[in-house]
Amino acid sequence: MVNYNALTCHKLKEMIDRQEVSSEEVINSVFDRIDKVESKIHAYISLFRDSALKEARVIDDRIKNGENVGRLSGIPVAVKDVMCTKGKLTTCGSRILKNYIPPFDATVVERIKKEGAIIIGKTNMDEFAMGSSTENSSFGYSRNPWALDHVTGGSSGGSAAALAADETILALGSDTGGSIRCPASFCSVVGLKPTYGLVSRYGLIAYANSLEQIGPLTKDVTDCALLLSIINGNDRCDSTSVPFQNRDYMNALVDDVRDFTLGVPREFFGEGTEETVEKCVWDAVHKFEDLGANYSEISMPHIVYSIPTYYLVAMSEASSNLARFDGVRYGFRAEKNNADWNVVFGITREKGFGSEVKRRIILGTFALSAGYYDKYYLKALKIRTLIKDDFEKALAKHSALITPTMPTPPFKIGEKIEDPLSMYMSDIDTVPINLAGVPSISIPCGFVNNLPVGVQIIGRLFDEETVLRIAYTYEQNSSLQRKKPNL
């Protein structure tokens, strides 16, 4: 029997269209897999077996009637629990939203549904997308399918783990400072953070608006281009979204990087980067050279300030965004008789938020307060501009930049969670990209002691095409995508 759950979307879609397999069979195959491995992985917060099967049967009937059912017809998709799904629990990994059922779909959710996608569940994540391991989830951590005592990465760890464990075909994640690329690297899947503004953020529960984007997590680069082609483009509900309607990225899938010029910025191989990771990434650079690209080592001097800059901006924005969770408007409320509203508000937030979220609200509020605003927040904004300039200069001379996605392979569960600073440091190679707003992809580039390593390809603003083309060329010339974890 074919394990349909282990296939890519583009392969399955062909089979569904030719009626070699029905969507119902695909959904059943994915849920059989979930029954088998989910108790080990914990990739999902909610699962929607009944509604998924029902939707699949409707799609199958429409296909039999010869109707055009869209580019994702009957394909199972796992959605990170930070995106609103109409009528379906959306927790954002937090106790404070443990009973929140949105009355609307996020724009990306609406767009994939329109193409016939079937949402099979909502995936686990760090609370409010704050973290790099999913250990900050209020609903327990996920486990890495390649090594069960290791983290999946985060914050979109559930989405990446579900793909790696073949518990879904496609997934969506969000990336404020690495949350798509970090778990993609740790779970050996593909993850793309689009250019800021390319994908609508409407219905994405906000953490730090000026940094984040929704993007695809997939089993290969072709699926990534396909999913991006569907979710991108203007949305009148998001004023920061691009003015153009929609772009198709399937033309980017060309196996050729001849004469591409690649920059390898040395600041991305700084302190804390494991030698084994460095070697995997350099092997990738040399592979590109063998395939006809040129590369040069470059310097981007302000990258070293990325971590403090990112955390100041992100925490400041978070402190303001999370003010809305007061127990009055959404979700959970701590009850206390005859208490003033501010007391109820305080207890609700004390009980509803986890410790990392509280830490960030406090630090962000501090950085924005009178007397400290100039010293911290404003200064961070100025350095952000310098970091942006570094990217502009580097990308003026190069088609793309190649760096590690993460400085290390996945770490052990429990290893960093008690030490927030060491957790923050692991974001060193991903946060600069969000500060600059440019696109970047993480694709698998090797294993170190059976633990996955990812390489990051960074492009010019709105040049997802080049990023995807370089990634595709690498993938076509490597056999990593065909490797599967033993579960």
Q: How far is the CB of 311 from ligand GLN (least distance, A)?
A: 7
CB of 209 to ligand GLN, least distance (A): 12
Asked if 188 is an active-site residue, the reply is no
Min dist CB 346 to ligand GLN, Å, is 25
Residue of 22, 133, 137, 155 marked catalytic = 155
| Positions that interact with ligand GLN (CB under 6 A) | 129-132, 155, 175-179, 207, 314, 427
**Cβ neighbours of residue 30 closer than 8 Å, sequence gap 6 or more:** 4, 5, 76, 120, 166, 167, 168, 169
Distance CA 96, CA 103 (A): 17
Dihedral sign for Cα 54, 59, 63, 66, please: positive
Angle between helix 221-231 and 464-476 (nearest 10): 160
Query: Sign (positive/negative) of CA torsion 167, 170, 175, 180?
Result: positive
End-to-end CA distance of the chain: 18
Q: What is the DSSP track for 319-335?
A: HHHGGG-SSSSSS----
Q: How far is the CB of 151 from ligand GLN (least distance, A)?
A: 12
Residue 75 tokens read as 């394909």
Residue 262 is inside which H or E element, if any?
Answer: strand 261-265
E strand or H helix that includes residue 27: helix 23-41
Question: Residue 211 CB, nearest distance to ligand GLN (Å)?
Answer: 8
Q: Catalytic site residue 179? A: yes
Catalytic residue among 23, 73, 80, 241: 80
Q: Which is nearer to ligand GLN, 213 or 348 (CB)?
A: 213
Closest of 44, 10, 446 to residue 226, by C-alpha: 10
197 Cβ partners below 8 Å, 6+ apart? 240, 241, 242, 437
**Residue 328: Cβ-neighbour burial (10 angstroms; 0-12, 13-18, 19+):** exposed
Scanning 243-354, the segments in alpha helix (DSSP H) are: 275-290, 306-321, 341-352
* Least distance CB 176 / ligand GLN (angstroms): 3
Active site residue 156: no
Neighbours of 127 (CB within 10 A): 28
Query: Shortest distance, CB of residue 442 to ligand GLN, whole angstroms?
Result: 12
> Which of these is catalytic: 137, 179, 188, 399?
179
Residues marked as catalytic: 80, 155, 179
